[in-house]
């Protein structure tokens, strides 16, 4: 089992930007990204997509010493993008905020969510019984933030695995506490808690975020970049 630390660089940026800045980022997009942008019904969603993808291209190009428009992504069967170089990355965005995690050595998952009241009992539908019990045991005023801590950690794990919805969210358990982000159980992976690492981050007021990586036992070191 590897004990080498895994370094992850984390960028966070706003998606509601001016038209001039958005135009600059739009020029970086590939034909398929432009086509996807044009399929959005609402201007706000299209503008945020452009700001997310364009800025992601800008960051990755800087790390690779190339230009944003030259990047060519390949996509897995579940839609996860990758590059034909030793650079792993994952992008997440919610409302007007995006987060990008980058590792030079390991696949990773990143999730960011805007904390807002829930219209239905999503925890009962998607969380494990143990997670639901932990959530319900908390004081009511703490449950919303705890829900989003759990949700972002689970989404980050699923995104790191790259299996999309084929990995049920109740097939593994994570912690819900603000200070201790950990995997507790994973079906089919008895040593999961010892080889997976995760980190909680608060990207902005009203948001929750998480990074997850199968480090093999090494520490996960997340550094916020600007």
Identify whether 81 is part of a domain: yes
Residues of the domain holding 15: 6-225
Predicted TM-score (pTM) of the model is 0.96
Q: pLDDT of 188-220, one tens digit each?
A: 999 999 999 999 999 999 999 999 999 999 999
Q: What is the CATH number of the domain that holds 51?
A: 3.90.470.20
Distance CA(19)–CA(204), nearest Å, equals 23
**Helices 129-136 and 143-161: angle between axes, nearest 10 degrees:** 160
Whether 1 is in a domain gets the answer no
- Average confidence (pLDDT) over 13-37: 98
CB atoms within 10 A of CB 31: 7
Question: Is there a domain that residue 12 lies in?
Answer: yes
Structural domain count, the chain: 1
Establish if 28 belongs to a structural domain.
yes
Is there a domain that residue 15 lies in? yes
C-beta of residue 113 within 8 angstroms of C-beta of residue 97: no
pLDDT at residue 79, rounded to an integer = 86
């Amino acid at each position: 089992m590897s004990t080498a630390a895994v370094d992850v660089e984390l960028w966070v940026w706003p998606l509601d930007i001016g038209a001039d800045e958005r135009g600059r980022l739009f020029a970086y997009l590939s034909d398929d990204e432009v086509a996807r942008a044009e399929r959005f019904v609402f201007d706000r969603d299209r503008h945020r997509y452009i700001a997310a993808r364009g800025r992601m291209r800008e960051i990755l190009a800087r790390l690779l010493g190339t230009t944003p428009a030259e990047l060519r992504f390949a996509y897995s069967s579940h839609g996860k993008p990758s590059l034909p170089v030793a650079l792993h990355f994952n992008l997440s965005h919610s409302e007007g905020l995006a987060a990008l995690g980058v590792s030079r050595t390991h696949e990773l998952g990143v999730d960011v969510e805007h904390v807002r009241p829930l219209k239905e009992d999503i925890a009962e539908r998607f969380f494990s019984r143990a997670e639901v019990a932990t959530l319900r045991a908390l004081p009511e005023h703490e449950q919303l933030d705890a829900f989003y801590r759990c949700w972002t950690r689970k989404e980050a794990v699923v995104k790191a695995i790259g299996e999309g919805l084929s990995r049920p969210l109740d097939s593994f358990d994570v912690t819900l506490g603000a200070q201790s982000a950990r995997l507790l159980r994973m079906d089919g992976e008895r040593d999961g808690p010892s080889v997976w690492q995760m980190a909680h981050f608060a990207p902005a007021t009203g948001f929750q975020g998480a990074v997850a990586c199968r480090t093999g036992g090494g520490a996960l070191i997340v550094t916020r970049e600007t």
